[in-house]
Chains A and B, each alone.
Chain A
């Protein structure tokens, strides 16, 4: 529960901070956004949080005994590349004056300004000398800045950093929130490259996780870095490293105990002071502290720290641990849990979505109330540690805080959160089928029409693209799922999801209107995962392959070209099919290319998108003994004779497929053999008026003279001339030479157009034209 005085204390903390800020701008207290959000912590817990976040634990045993967690400051091993040396020097000399709200304490406060500068300079030389890479600041481009601005205001940066442009819906916003981590120093501090690298993997440098990984790609990181640095960043003068200053800097680094908070090779952290040495009226906590290290603590922060130190070092309860973690990492800047946290009204318009009609649920990160009872433990871990995400329409991203910073949360949530259980027994036998069917009906348009607002199994909803239902059982616990379906408003206040069982009473008559049975049926149906049948109302996804500006070649089984089928489509809309098992052009069609089966077990089987003219599937080249001999037919299989009776049919007729190659236009040339003759087979498309012509060139290579027959056409063939033949809607033109049109010897057998090819030793080409209407 929220402490009754929390709101007041919260307001007080803002007042104190801003009062201090107004009086001495160089002394803004360390900023932790979560402590300025609507948090649930009392003084003592705020203090225990601060003991960890300010790393008091590095020096004080009392702090270690009470701190909510241990943290470290930035890793300095490459800081000379990451941070401009002039900035580094100023920052070390006076952190609070250089970066408003920094958590880095001043270490040189008691010394005169000149000495401070001297020490800071030597440490800077030491750190720059130790960095493998050197700082350099390149210019950024306007386009990157523009992309960065959009990302900065949409992915969630503004939960902890002030926005810089009005919200998309133009609502008046007063900026300058005391909880915002100031970014005014960024152009002086970073280079676009170093900031981009930091933004890409922030927890690598800052292990505490308060600056989380926002799931940015490298390009996105570069854009946001460009935006934050802008075009007016100062020119950087490279530091000329002086060896004597490096040595002095190393000495100072050690003396000042910098390694207490910063990892750096070769530097060991100082030992903390033993318990009993901490005086809560002195040092940082004194009203007018001048000691070092000096934190510019606000009055309230001092109150909280004293409260924590005055309380016994007992273990935090599960609830306290959750509350402190959610506050320390400002999860509550976006998420509500119980009566605390949530997006502040002034930031609300920055939370946007691509699915406006799904309401706030599509924009605002989900509440964490009961999250331990809502999500399956493993799914929660995937969300927290593996960046699992299901709300693709939500522009704000779930940050990755680093597994070690959240490792304790899943079990704590599971222990703390509870809903009344709801049994989901697995139906057996007939009941299983009934439940599965009922679940499918309920999800579909003749049921509760869940699919009107939810995608299903990767298939888009016809209306609003709410999250895919198929992974419900993977993500959700059955108890929460059932309660949520019955009372959506209770479990997700404000959700647009309708009540389908108002007051627990089923609105749909299926399964005799039994609410529990219906919910179990839905759960059971969804539990089938990817194999669940698509509910009515969701359209199947068709895979149409189209040809754009280059020729396309596609292999797959097909009724038009057999299992070893190949489809070729030309720009302009002419296509043919080739059976690579027999070396035969088996179909030709105009218009769109092919549709392909890639759903379910689909092996990529293709079908012509247009109405195709089909030709025979047998081998088309063969050394017939004479023009009267029957053409060798391929083996016939059917349901009653499913086994291939002549598995070597093409091979034993001399045929062998050798593959294909593309030219620069991606036009394929097929390579195959018939006996000793090698054949290259290439076609081009020509268009004229309402006809399309496939111009096919066959190139024969033979070591010695050979006679080969080519079966050019089968079916009802009409000879229009010596060179021109019509079969159904196909017109074939052949060159002058020896051709035979064989009429069927028996009823039902097709006519055949045979070409006798007397091939010389060497190469010869043959050109054929297949003409069809477009």
Chain B
């Protein structure tokens, strides 16, 4: 029998003779870092009950700074990395995962796009779009065919982000500016379409620093833009052919894109997007604006939930990662009078590294990956692969917000309680817009407080139709539904949502 009755006196810390101060302990002091990067949402602990974060262990010796994912045949997923490797992962969906990693290709140049077709990977690396195949069948890539390198690549910060295939078999590449401010090499700041025949066609100008490109939930091409000059916040932008997407520095390449016609009129700095659209008809307003810091600081790869409910109540919505704040957000879009717009919503914070791309696994979990190398990032892991799994418990969330001729329809994931749900005071709205200018970032301006004149709850209480005294064109409409309760008495998991109004539908 071993003796535990140790005679050694334990040295007990001198706990300051403070009566236990419940109030002080309940609210943990924020760390200094919180103010450097922006406050947390503070919802991580509650989010945990609905979406758990599962680490996918990476064997020692492998560095997987995920920049892009794509699903292959079977249950395999390819991951392309900032270090230029392509790994093929298997067994990503197990409860306690121990994924298999096989190095498929190495020695490429910062991968931010992967697509897969007929046994070939289409890799967007900084220098080109490459078709990669394994012709010998030994599991390693041995043929690297250049599909397109019809853009300049000669300066710092010239990142290239690639899409998956669209229905016609096209791929798209979004090209960041030179040094993030200039357009010194061909088509920097543009979006290129690469056709199945291998032709490269410039289709839109005016990007600053895109970080992901692909379809929205309706199958239309979107790209995510970072905050900076001519962009006071990150935004989802609709890439319609011929579009000018806001940053005029890349007008110098119109002569190399005859299909695009002459360069647009230079927008006036210090104006508003909605105003400049009158003068610059090619200017496409930003579809979903993500209020800076409150909703991300450098939003990256996005994907659409087509899991058929396996990931919870957000089927057919977009999920987006944020690099700086190591979190995931949602967005929904709709086309009104031919113009795209929509809303963004907080979803899950507390990931371990800067997120560069997200992708749904075969089982319908959300694979998130990235690195925190190079820029300030909240998550402290140098690189990580993590999975968000729905626990099966229904969160009380704003499911989506859509616009009506005189207000909004707000849908919920669970029925709301009648007394708060039908009370206009439960719907605190305010609006703002940004200055459209060449300076970096910018404040939220022209704030208004609309009045919610009436609320009508749907019979199933899963949605509320709000009538406002006015909708502000060109403004982000900010919702704070903190006072709302579900029928079970729950508060919303996230009380905020942000709808960008570019157009108002006609009265029907």
Interface residues of A (CB under 8 A from B): 7, 10-11, 14, 18, 36-38, 173-178, 200-201, 204, 213, 217-218, 336, 338-339, 342, 344-347, 369-370, 372-373, 376-378, 381-382, 385-387, 403, 414-421, 424, 426, 458, 470-471, 473-474, 477-479, 489-491, 493-494, 523-524, 527-531, 552-557, 562-564, 580-581, 598-604, 637, 642-644, 647-648, 657-662, 664, 671
Contacts and interface: CB of A to CB of B under 8 A. Distances in A.
B29 interface: yes
Nearest to B132: A659
Nearest to B37: A529
Given A580-B146, A642-B182, 13 more contacts: A38-B5, A176-B1, A345-B3, A345-B6, A378-B350, A415-B22, A424-B31, A473-B33, A477-B29, A478-B31, A494-B11, A523-B32, A661-B135
B25 A218 contact: no
A369 B5 CA distance: 19
B35 interface: yes
A555 B185 contact: no
A18 B127 contact: no
Given A336-B10, A529-B33, A217 B98 contact: yes
Contact of A174 (B1, B20, B36, B184): B1
Contacts of A657: 128, 146, 149
B231 to A, nearest CB: 20
B491 interface: no
29 contacts: A213-B96, A217-B57, A338-B10, A344-B2, A370-B13, A370-B15, A385-B48, A387-B55, A414-B26, A426-B35, A474-B33, A477-B29, A478-B29, A489-B11, A493-B10, A527-B32, A528-B376, A531-B376, A555-B108, A564-B128, A642-B182, A642-B184, A643-B184, A644-B154, A644-B184, A648-B186, A658-B146, A661-B144, A671-B145
Contacts of B380: 470-471, 474, 529-530
Contacts of B374: 600-602
A658 B5 contact: no
Contacts of B48: 381, 385, 403
B3 A346 contact: yes
B128 to A, nearest CB: 7
A491 B2 contact: no
A418 B20 contact: yes
Contacts of B16: 418-420
A644 B152 contact: yes
B45 A381 contact: yes
- Name B's interface SS: loop
Contact of B107 (A177, A553, A598): A553
A424 B28 contact: no
B110 A603 contact: yes
Given A378-B45, A419-B16, A603-B110, A424 B32 contact: yes
A554 B377 CA distance: 28
A421 B29 contact: yes
Contacts of A557: 109, 126, 153
A563 B29 contact: no
Interface of B: 1-6, 10-16, 18, 20-22, 24-26, 28-29, 31-33, 35-37, 44-45, 48, 52-53, 55, 57, 63, 82-84, 95-96, 98, 107-110, 125-128, 130-131, 135-136, 142-146, 149, 152-155, 158, 178, 182-186, 252-253, 256, 350, 372-378, 380, 382
B14 A490 contact: yes
A604 to B, nearest CB: 6
B53 to A, nearest CB: 6
A423 to B, nearest CB: 9
Contacts of A36: 4
Contact of B109 (A176, A387, A603): A603
Nearest to A344: B4
Nearest to A424: B32
A702 B50 CA distance: 63
Contact of B1 (A177, A336, A490, A523): A177
B84 A474 contact: no
Contacts of A174: 1-2
Contacts of B382: 458, 530
Given A11-B5, A471-B380, A601 B373 contact: yes
B353 to A, nearest CB: 9
A471 B379 CA distance: 9
A393 to B, nearest CB: 14
Contacts of B5: 7, 10-11, 38
A38 B6 contact: yes
B55 A491 contact: no
A555 B84 contact: yes
Contacts of B24: 418, 421
Nearest 5 CB-CB pairings of A with B: A601-B374, A647-B186, A527-B32, A527-B33, A346-B2
A636 B105 CA distance: 34
Nearest to B179: A642
B44 A378 contact: yes
A523 B36 CA distance: 13
Contacts of A339: 10, 12
B350 to A, nearest CB: 6
B154 A637 contact: yes
A530 B10 contact: no
A238 B400 CA distance: 57
Given A378-B350, A552-B107, A659 B28 contact: no
Contacts of B145: 658-659, 671
A410 to B, nearest CB: 8
A426 B28 contact: no
Nearest to B187: A647
A765 B440 CA distance: 55
B439 to A, nearest CB: 21
A369 B12 contact: yes
Interface core residue of B15, B63, B136, B372 (most chain A CB under 10 Å): B15
A564 B153 contact: yes
A603 B158 CA distance: 10
A585 to B, nearest CB: 17
B99 to A, nearest CB: 11
B53 A386 contact: yes
Given A418-B25, A644-B185, A661-B143, A527 B14 contact: no
A387 B155 CA distance: 42
B495 to A, nearest CB: 19
Contact of A604 (B84, B130, B186): B84
A153 to B, nearest CB: 15
B95 A201 contact: yes
Contacts of B20: 415-416, 418
